[in-house]
Copies of this chain bind each other. A is one copy, B any other.
Amino acid sequence: MATVTILGAGDMGFAISTPVSANGHDVRLWGTPIDAEIIETLRAGGVHPRMGTAVRPGVRLFSPDEAAAAVEGADIVLFAVTSVGIRPIVEQFAAKLLHVPVIMTIAKGFDPGPDGDAILLLPEVIAERTSSPIVGVGGPSKANEVARGIPTGIVFGGPGEAAEFCADAFRTPAYNVEVTDDIVGVEVAAAMKNAYAIALGVSDGLEKATGVPHHNFRAALFPRAVQEMGKLAEALGGRAETVAGRPGAGDLQVTISSGRNRLLGERIGAGEPGPQAAAALREAGITVEGYDALGFGHRLARSLEDPATGHPLRLPLLEALYAVLHEGAPAAEALWSAV
């Protein structure tokens, strides 16, 4: 039996406690200050406010001020916070991370570095503070389904032995875990699929605006998006093959079926200029992860070479999406020109 500490009791942190607790492990779910009320509700026997299910047997709850106890002696510590939450939580636990055998992250996105001008994958942020092996999680994984034990197939990416150790801890009949050593491919896809989901969501807005479905439009963008994520992964030392599997094609498929990224695309497709639609969601307090990922990914791509050609990396669909969201380019025309 392993001791597994999950840092973050938001949607995904709570959800992933389902498979690992089903395996009989000692699971500790720690709430960040943002999750304080969630922990209280769960302790009182209530259901998670967004996931709608109660905490599973075998999961012990830790409130924000019980951080030290939560990680004490853990075999695996899993970061399940937002991308902007990674750096402060890593800092908070820095002294403890040195001694954790394996660290996992299910957070998706990029980090701007301590000075705000870098573009780091989230495992790189964790690696600043520990030399323990790090395992990243990717693949199509709606949290509410994971929480309910609906069949879910994901990928753990990291050094062989560590990734296998984590896979053994989390794998259940309903939670199907593949393992890869290509953590770069997993993390690039996990972050960038949110950006591309905005582009594909535009088709829903075009349907709204015209009364005619634009399914062909969306489906033509789909393989292009997967291809570009693969190129970005390759330029960073990962593999396109990883992206073509669960973390890229699989996760993009589920991401375009609902969610905030798709919603932003829908508003733009329906006629709202990109910068205005993005600002409206921001002002409504709605974080669109793909919007930030687009900014990072766009800047990152401009700094890289295509390893196949030695020329600057060209990702036309990402460029077009950037033009739509940051320069107000007309969405249908701009995206279609990059298909």
Partner among B151, B173, B217, B339 whose Cβ is within 8 Å of the Cβ of A220: B151
Q: Is A148 an interface residue (CB 8 A)?
A: yes
Identify 7 new A-B residue pairs, CB closer than 8 A, beyond the known A145-B213, A176-B220: A142-B216, A146-B216, A151-B220, A215-B258, A220-B250, A222-B249, A222-B250
- The smallest C-beta distance from A213 to any residue of chain B, in angstroms, reads 6
CB <8 Å contact, A219 and B148 = no
Q: Which residue of chain B lies nearest to A222 when distances are taken between CB atoms in the complex?
A: B253
Q: List the B side residues contacting A129 at CB < 8 Å.
A: none
Question: Interface extent on A, as a size class?
Answer: 35 or more
Chain B proximity mask over A213-256: 1 for CB below 8 Å, otherwise 0: 11111111011001100000000000000001110111101100
Contact of A213 (CB < 8 Å), options: B142, B216, B222, B332: B142
**In the complex with contacts A151-B332, A253-B253, A336-B151, A246-B217 CB distance below 8 A:** no
The answer to whether A286 has its CB under 8 Å from any CB of chain B is no
Query: How many copies altogether?
Result: 2
- Of B213, B220, B254, the contact of A139 (CB 8 Å cutoff): B220
Q: Hey, which chain B residues are within 8 Å of A141, CB to CB?
A: 216
- Expressed in whole angstroms, the minimum distance between the Cβ of A229 and any Cβ of chain B is 12
Distance between Cα atoms of A308 and B232 in the complex (Å) = 27
Within the complex, the shortest CB–CB distance from A15 to chain B, in Å, comes to 10
The yes or no answer to A212 lying at the interface (CB within 8 A) is yes
Question: Which of chain B's residues have a CB closer than 8 A to the CB of A217?
Answer: 145, 150-152
Contact partner, A145, options B144, B214, B226, Cβ 8 Å: B214
A136 within 8 A of B: no
Which partner residue on chain B sits nearest A140 by CB separation?
Answer: B219
A213 to B151, CA, bound (A): 10
A257 within 8 A of B: yes
